[in-house]
Amino acid sequence: MMEVTDILRRYSALADEKIGEVIRDITPETLLKASEHLITAGGKKIRPSLALLSCEAVGGNLDDAAGVAAAIELIHTFSLIHDDIMDDDEMRRGEPSVHVIWGEPMAILAGDVLFSKAFEAVIKNGDPSMVREALAVVVDSCVKICEGQALDMGFEEKFDVTEEEYMEMIYKKTAALIAAATKAGAIMGSGTPEEVSALEDYGKFIGLAFQIHDDYLDVVSDEESLGKPVGSDIAEGKMTLMVVKALERASAEDRERLISILQAKDQKLVSEAIEIFERYDSINYAHEVALDHVRMAKERLMVLEDSDARAALMRIADFVLEREH
Amino acid sequence: MMEVTDILRRYSALADEKIGEVIRDITPETLLKASEHLITAGGKKIRPSLALLSCEAVGGNLDDAAGVAAAIELIHTFSLIHDDIMDDDEMRRGEPSVHVIWGEPMAILAGDVLFSKAFEAVIKNGDPSMVREALAVVVDSCVKICEGQALDMGFEEKFDVTEEEYMEMIYKKTAALIAAATKAGAIMGSGTPEEVSALEDYGKFIGLAFQIHDDYLDVVSDEESLGKPVGSDIAEGKMTLMVVKALERASAEDRERLISILQAKDQKLVSEAIEIFERYDSINYAHEVALDHVRMAKERLMVLEDSDARAALMRIADFVLEREH
Give one DSSP letter per residue of B80-134, joined into a string. Answer: HHHHHHHHT--EETTEE-HHHHH-HHHHHHHHHHHHHHHHHHHHTSS-HHHHHHH
> Residues of B at the A interface (Cβ-Cβ below 8 Å)?
26-28, 30-31, 82, 85-87, 104-106, 108-109, 111-113, 115-117, 119-120, 123-124, 128, 131-132, 135-136, 139-140, 142-143, 145-147, 149-151, 153-154
The distance between the two most distant Cα atoms of chain A, rounded to a whole number of Å, is 60
Angle at which helices B46-57 and B66-87 pack, to 10 degrees? 150
Which residues in chain A are contacts of B128 at CB distance < 8 A? Answer: 132
Which of B26, B113, B143 is closest, CB to CB, to A117? B143
Binary contact (B108, A108; C-beta < 8 A):
yes
What confidence score (pLDDT) does residue B169 get?
98
Average pLDDT over residues A34-59: 95
Q: Which residues, in sequence order, are CB contacts of A83 under 8 Å at separation 6+?
A: A89, A149
Q: What is the pLDDT of residues B74-114, one digit of tens each?
A: 999 999 999 999 999 998 888 999 999 999 999 999 999 99
Q: What percentage of chain A has pLDDT greater than the value 90?
A: 87
Q: Which helix (H) or strand (E) holds A95?
A: strand A95-96
User: What integer pLDDT is reported at residue A324 of this predicted model?
Assistant: 74
CB A270 within 8 A of CB A233: no
H or E stretch covering A92? strand A91-92
**Range scoring the smallest mean pLDDT among A49-53, A87-91, A269-273, B179-183:** A87-91
pLDDT of residue A158: 92
The number of beta carbons lying within 10 Å of the beta carbon of residue B222 is: 11
Of the candidates B227, B312, B297, the one whose C-alpha atom is nearest the C-alpha of residue B54 is: B312
pLDDT mean across residues, chain B? 95
For A122, the closest chain B residue by CA position comes to B136
- Kindly indicate the confidence band of residue B1, based on its pLDDT and cuts at 50, 70 and 90: low
Distance, CA of A33 to CA of A109 (rounded, Å): 12
How long, in residues, is chain A? 325
- Distance separating alpha carbons of residues A66 and A51, to the nearest angstrom: 8
Q: Chain-wide mean pLDDT for chain A?
A: 95
User: How many CA atoms lie within 13 Å of B26's alpha carbon, on the beta-carbon side?
Assistant: 32
Residue A22: CA count within 13 A, CB half-sphere = 35
- A86 chain-B contacts, CB cut-off 8 A: 104-105, 108-109
Kindly report the nearest CA distance between residue B2 and chain A, in angstroms: 37
Taking an 8 Å cut-off on Cβ atoms, the answer to whether A108 and B86 are in contact is: yes
Q: For this complex, say whether ipTM is above 0.85.
A: yes
Quote the CA–CA distance of B259 and B237 in Å, as a whole number. 9
Helices (H), chain A: 4-23, 29-40, 46-57, 66-87, 98-102, 104-123, 128-155, 163-170, 176-188, 193-220, 223-226, 232-235, 241-249, 252-264, 270-279, 282-301, 308-319
Which of the four CATH numbers 1.10.260.30, 1.10.600.10, 3.30.1700.10, 1.10.238.10 does domain B4-322 have? Answer: 1.10.600.10
- Residue B224: alpha-carbon gap to chain centroid: 22
The Cα B34–Cα B103 span in angstroms is 10
Collapsed DSSP state (helix, strand, coil) of residue A306:
coil
Instruction: Give the CA angle between residues A82, B78, B187 to the nearest 5°.
Output: 120
* Confidence check: pLDDT of A1 > 70: no
Chain B: closest CA distance from residue A238 (Å): 16
At residue B128 the predicted structure's pLDDT band, cuts being 50, 70 and 90, is: confident
Strands of chain B (E only): list them: 91-92, 95-96
Give the residue-averaged pLDDT of B56-83.
97
Which of A112, A128, A147 lies nearest to residue B82, judging by beta carbons?
A112
Indicate the DSSP class of residue A305. P
* Dist. CA B150–CA A116, nearest whole Å: 15
Strand partners, A91: A96
CB A288 within 8 A of CB A188: no
* pLDDT score recorded for residue A226: 83
| DSSP helix/strand/coil, B35 | helix
**What does the alpha-carbon distance between residue B291 and residue B286 come to, in Å, rounded to a whole number?**
9
pLDDT tens figures, A100-118:
999 999 999 999 999 999 9
Beta strands at A95-96 and A91-92: parallel, antiparallel or unpaired: antiparallel
Q: Which residue has the higher pLDDT, B176 or A94?
A: B176
User: A4-319 maps to which CATH number?
Assistant: 1.10.600.10
Contact criterion met (CB < 8 Å) for A116 and B139: yes
Q: How confident is the model at residue B324 (pLDDT cuts 50, 70, 90)?
A: confident
Nearest CA to A56 among A194, A197, A186?
Answer: A186
Q: Which residues contact B279 (CB under 8 A, 6 or more apart)?
A: B246, B250, B254
The rounded distance, in Å, linking the Cα atoms of B177 and B47 is 8
Lowest mean pLDDT among A1-10, A33-42, A51-60, A236-245: A1-10
CB B204 within 8 A of CB B179: yes
CB A26 within 8 A of CB A94: no
Chain B residues with CB under 8 Å of A119 CB are: 119, 135, 139, 142
Give the H/E segment covering residue B242. helix B241-249
Indicate if the pLDDT at residue A129 is higher than 90: no
Asked if A235 and A270 count as a contact pair (C-beta separation under 8 A), the reply is yes
CA distance A298 to A296: 5
